[in-house]
Every structure is written in structure tokens, then in C-alpha cells.
Chains A and B, each alone.
Chain A
Amino acid sequence: MRWRVVKAVARQCFLEFWRSPQAVFWTYGFPIMMAVVLGFAFQSGQAEPVTIGVVDNKVTRANLAKLEDEPLLVVDWLSPADADRALGRGRVALTVRWSARDDREVLRSDPSRPEAMLARLLVERRLRQASGGEVAYVPPAHEVEDRPGSRYIDFLIPGLIGLNLLGAGMWGVGFNLVQMRVGNLLRRIFVTPMKRSEFLAGYLLGRSVLVIPEAFVIMAFGVLLWGVPFRGSLLAALTLIVVGGWVFTAIGCLLACRARTTETIGGLMNAVQLPMWILGGTFFANEGLEGPMRWAAEVMPLTHVNRALRDVMLEPGTLLDVWVPVVALAVTGVACFSLAMRLFRWQ
């Protein structure tokens, strides 16, 4: 492999990115916008009240008006048909109706929805209190968790860095390679003495170099705007970003090694990225998953990039603390790159 060729390809890849306003926006602007929006949306504070539907009649007006005293409940008084419709469309978390036959209230909800369980507990508590069943109950005091390092935004920022490495690495390499194939540029390069290893290594190097500033921009943004702590080693963070960028660019390269159209590569990218978006531990902790979902999450590179980044940012993690995921990710990248080299087609 000739270094001057690798360097020339990497340089061109780098320049092509910086001169494309769309690429710069989607790589830098969009993740920062997402961090702002999600940061505001999940700021620490009072929990959002949950809306319930109560079937409106004389009995419920007399017996259930007290539910409106519960600050975490918003009560909608509805006809029976409207209550069913509202529950079906998710506008209310639970409905309450009076059963004359049973001479008691009937709650109806879908238990798989998290807010349904909260609504049920709140309604039951209020009804119990109203019937005098909790005379001796003194509710405990509650503190809002707003210490830096423990908030949702602290959890989110390392995840967004991981997600950005995933998107920029895979799309940046995969999509561009297929565009070059469609435009005959790969065929043109093939008939020169450039080796495929030189071309692919240069391309991956160009993209890997790009992901470092991308990741640090989001990190700096989180630290400066949201006060997200950075407690670990900068070297460990840098290593993780480089290795994370490497593994995702290598996956992008593998996916693009034979795709002939931009539609094909778009579909392949989405098929690989979407499960990682959902299960990769960016927006919620995936350690709570069980069974096959957990296994799937554990084999995803994004899971390990995110976890290790959180170890380094939110805890005083050093390179020694994250060497296992760093090595595993690097090896995965090498495996994907080697496979891409074998399968790669110029035309």
C-alpha cells in the first residue's frame, strides 16, 4: 500500500465533505439541533400530568369529581363512545366508568403502555384516600434528581455522540461509494494502478478524520450548554471516538461494497441503522432489555460505543477502564474492512 495514494484519496474525501453544505449540516447542525430539542424536552423538573377519560353521568359526577383534586391527573369527562375512541387513539391513558351491576368503578387501559400503569395507580390511590382507607398514610418527601451526571440530558449526550458516529460513518462512506460507482468514477479509478486497499484505506481515513471534530462539537455543546460533566480521560474519549468512527465507516464500506444503486444502499443502511437507533442505548438504557432483544443489543457496536462513552464522560473512566470495548470495536472494524476488501467491486 502506497501512503501517498492513501493520503491523496483521504484528502479528497475530506475536502469533498467540507465543501458540501448539506453534508456539513446533517453531520454538525442536525445532531446539535437534536441535542437542543431533546435537552429542553427532558429537562429535570415536575413530572408531566397524565390524562384520563371518565364516562360522564350523574353517578360518576358525584363519586369521581375528587379525581380532579389529584395534581398529576387531567380528567376528561366523555360520553361512553368518546371515551372508547380516546383510549383507542391514545389521547387518554385510561378510562373510568361506573358499573351499576357491580356497584363500583371499572378502570380500562392497555397495561403495555407505561402511562397507563401510572394513571391506574394514581386513580386507585385517590379513590382509596377518598374512602378513608389511607388514614395513617403519610406520603414520603420527594427530591428532584437534577445533579449533573444523573440527568437524562447527561445520559443522552454520549448517546448522541455515538449516534452521530454511526450516521456520519456509515452514510458518509457507504452512500458516497455507491454514488461514485453509479457515476463511473470507481470504474475510472479501477483502470489506473490504484489498488483497492489504497482506495478504501484512503476513503476510510478521510472519513475517520472527519468524525473526530464532529464528535467533539457535540461533546463541547453538551458540556457548555447543558453542563454535562466530563469526568474521565480525554485520551480515552478520543480513542473511543476514533475507534467508533472506524467501526461504523468500515460497516458502511462493507454495505456499499457491491450495491449498484443509491436506493439499494439507502435500504441496506436503514436496515442496519434502525435496529441500532432503537436498541443501541442512545435514548434509553438497554441493560433493562431481556431475551433476544438484549442479545441483539449486546452485539450492536453502538451499544458498546455509547456505554464506553458514558463511562468516560459521566464517570472517571480511563483507557484502562474501557480497553475491552475499544479492542472489541477495533477488531470488528478490521473484520468488516477485510471483508469489504474481499467483496468490493469497482463496477
Chain B
Amino acid sequence: MNQAPAIELRALRKTYKKGRELVHAVNGLDLVVGRGEVFGLLGPNGAGKTTTVEICEGLTAPDAGEVRILGKEWGTGADDDIRARIGVCLQETKFQEHATVEEVLKLFRSCFDDGRTVDDALALVSLQEKRSARQKSLSGGQRQRLAVATALLGDPKLLFLDEPTTGLDPQSRRQLWQVVRDYQSQGGTVLLTTHYMDEAHQLCDRVAIVDRGEVIALGSPAELIRSLGAQHFVVVDLVDADAAPDDASFLSISDVSAVERRDARVECTVASVHTALPAVLEMLERRGVEIDGLSTRHATLEDVFVHLTGRHLREGGAA
């Protein structure tokens, strides 16, 4: 039997009034998220990620466009059915100050006719030892895992995580990533928004880069990085920034496709490190430029993001 996609958004629009100005938070956005995917929405603050997720969650009504969640539409009598099948973790939720972890879970569990037990939810987020702890004694990471546990109580088919690891320490982030992977391995679908490109790279099967309310790039992290045309960087730190050769000198090397500078640091985008690196070093030596440091790195989603949302792209109207 063909199942409808987990999320289908067509020509979605949402405009807010901010003072006298109209802000197009979502501007004709199209998106399809398949079942079993971990899908990431990436973008800067104000790009429209949270508005898009809130429309999917039924918290905000769109001005125009189609929204189908697990094949059903909000406002057509299916709202309770959708809510029973999704799990939501908002950017920040303050649970009642004096409630214990277990009590919060029991309260949320009472809403669902079917679902996981409180013990199962505690185990999923590894909070069994904090069962009797009150909110004020929990760390930021534990609170966030509790928020995710409340989202998992109804045994949802689709999980919304809106910047779930913002402000968390690296260990707490990794713990949450594991929760997401476990959930996916059991067949769940996740729509995730994040500022962290490494998080998207680690977790997401596909990502959509959103800017000014539109999807400007879509694909797997590896595909998006490949789309840059070059996947490596040679980074040279010079002793004297004023002695740096001009861009043309770097670009004259056949493997170098772009140059970026910050103070005494020059970053060359290259197709192949093993051929570009000796050529760069040879050019610098020939010109008598002293080197303070040298490193290479792979391209990341961060580079894709900077590349796509940079000035040149918008001026070219390529979005």
C-alpha cells in the first residue's frame, strides 16, 4: 500500500505584520518529506524555519498553500487525529517548576489514547535516574531530553524538533542525536530545524536550506557539498598580511577555484588537495612570503550555506 509522504507543503505562504511593514516569513515554499527520513531545515534567524514548522504542527495557519501531514490536512476535521500521530518539541518549553520528570510525562501521556509507557519514554531519553527530580534540578540537556520524551509519548509517526540542541553542551547534544537515531531506526520520521551544520550533517538524510521564506537548496548533505564543485580547502596563515599575494596569483593555480581572506589568513577552495597544496606552497616560496601555519579541511554544509546565502547569489537572483 502506498503511504502518503510524512509532510507535503505546496506554495506555502505566511505574512506577518511587523509595525507597518509586512514580513514574508514563508514565501511560496514547497517541500516533501518522505516517511522514515530525518529531514533538516537549515537557515539563519528569520529565514522562516520556525514559521514553517509551526504551520506543520498546526500552531500557525498559513495565508495560502497546501499542508498535508501524514496525508491529512489541518482544519478539515482531522486535527485530533494528526495531533495523536505527531510529536512536537518546541524551541523552549517551561514545564511546571515543581513537577517531577515522571509527573510531566504522566500528564502528557494522559492526552493519548495509545502510546508508550512513561517507563519506555524515560528509557528512550535515558532519564530513568531523574524520574523523581523536579524541573529546577535538571540541567539544560536533561530538560531538553524531557521535552523530547513528552514528544515521544504518543508513539508518533512524525517528530518535530525545533532547534533541539541550541545552548546545550557537546555531550548533551550527542545524547539527543542518539535519541533521534534510535527513533528513526524504529521507522519514525523527523523534521528538524537547526543552526548547527554539523548537527544537520550528522543526523539528516536530506536537508533544505531556507532563506527569506524559500527553499534555496535541497538534497542530502553530501549532494549539497558536492554541488559546490570543490570539496576541499587549503588554509594558509601568513606572518605578514600585507605581504600576501593578490587573488589572481592564487587563482592562476589551476586547482584553485576561489580565494577568501580574513586578516592574515587566506582560504583557497580547491578540487584536489594533493595537487593544489604543493602548487600553493611553491608560489608562496617563489614570492618570498613567510608562512605561519598551514591546514586543509573538507567542505561542510557551513560552506554550502555561506556560498548560497552570500551576496553574489542574491545579486544574481539565482535563488
Contact = CB atoms under 8 A, between A and B. Distances in A.
Interface of A: 4-5, 7-9, 12, 15-16, 19-20, 180, 183-185, 187-194, 347
A5 to B, nearest CB: 5
B95 A185 contact: yes
Contact of B112 (A180, A183, A193): A193
**B91, B94, B107 — most chain A CB neighbours (10 Å):** B107
Nearest to A194: B111
Contacts of B96: 12, 16, 180, 185
B93 A188 contact: yes
Contacts of B147: 188
Contacts of B57: 191
Given A8-B106, A15-B103, A183-B93, A191 B58 contact: yes
Contacts of B95: 185
Contacts, number: 68
Interface string B74-92: 0000001001101010111
Contact of B90 (A5, A9, A184, A193): A184
A5 B154 CA distance: 14
A19 B96 CA distance: 11
A12 B107 contact: yes
Given A12-B103, A192-B83, A193-B111, 18 more contacts: A4-B110, A5-B110, A5-B111, A8-B107, A8-B110, A9-B110, A16-B99, A180-B96, A184-B90, A184-B91, A184-B93, A187-B59, A187-B93, A188-B88, A188-B93, A188-B150, A191-B59, A193-B84
B93 A193 contact: no
A20 B96 CA distance: 11
Band of interface residues on B: 20 to 34
Contacts of B58: 191
A192 B108 contact: yes
Given A16-B96, A183-B94, A191 B88 contact: yes
B98 interface: yes
A347 B93 CA distance: 12
Contacts of A19: 98, 134
A252 B287 CA distance: 79
Contacts of A15: 98-99, 103
Interface string B42-69: 0000000000000001110000000000
Interface in B11-47: none
B98 A20 contact: yes
B271 to A, nearest CB: 47
13 contacts: A7-B110, A8-B107, A8-B110, A16-B98, A185-B96, A188-B150, A189-B111, A191-B86, A192-B83, A192-B111, A192-B112, A192-B154, A347-B59
Interface of B: 57-59, 80, 83-84, 86, 88, 90-99, 103, 106-108, 110-113, 134, 147, 150, 154
A8 B109 CA distance: 9
B59 A190 contact: yes
A178 to B, nearest CB: 13
Contact of A191 (B83, B107, B112): B83
A103 B72 CA distance: 97
Contacts of B134: 19
Nearest to B113: A193
Contacts of B107: 8-9, 12
A193 B80 contact: yes
A16 B58 CA distance: 29
A323 B57 CA distance: 48
A183 B107 CA distance: 17
A184 B94 contact: yes
B93 A185 contact: yes
Contacts of B88: 188, 191-192
A190 B61 CA distance: 14
A4 B112 CA distance: 10
A20 B134 CA distance: 12
A219 B44 CA distance: 60
Contacts of A193: 80, 83-84, 111-113, 154
Nearest to A184: B93
Nearest to B60: A347
B150 to A, nearest CB: 7
Contacts of A194: 110-111
A124 to B, nearest CB: 63
A41 to B, nearest CB: 36
A51 B93 CA distance: 60
A299 to B, nearest CB: 35
A15 B134 CA distance: 12
Closest 10 CB pairs of A and B: A183-B94, A19-B98, A8-B110, A194-B111, A192-B111, A191-B88, A188-B93, A193-B83, A193-B84, A184-B93
Contacts of A184: 90-94
A61 B252 CA distance: 115
Which of B59, B113, B134 gathers most chain A CB within 10 Å? B59
A5 B112 CA distance: 9
Contacts of A188: 88, 90, 93, 147, 150
Contacts of B103: 12, 15
A25 B95 CA distance: 23
A256 to B, nearest CB: 16
Contacts of A189: 111
* Interface-centre pick from B90, B98, B111 (highest chain A CB count, 10 A): B111
A15 B132 CA distance: 14
B251 to A, nearest CB: 50
Contacts of B93: 183-185, 187-188
A188 B54 CA distance: 11
Contacts of A8: 106-107, 110
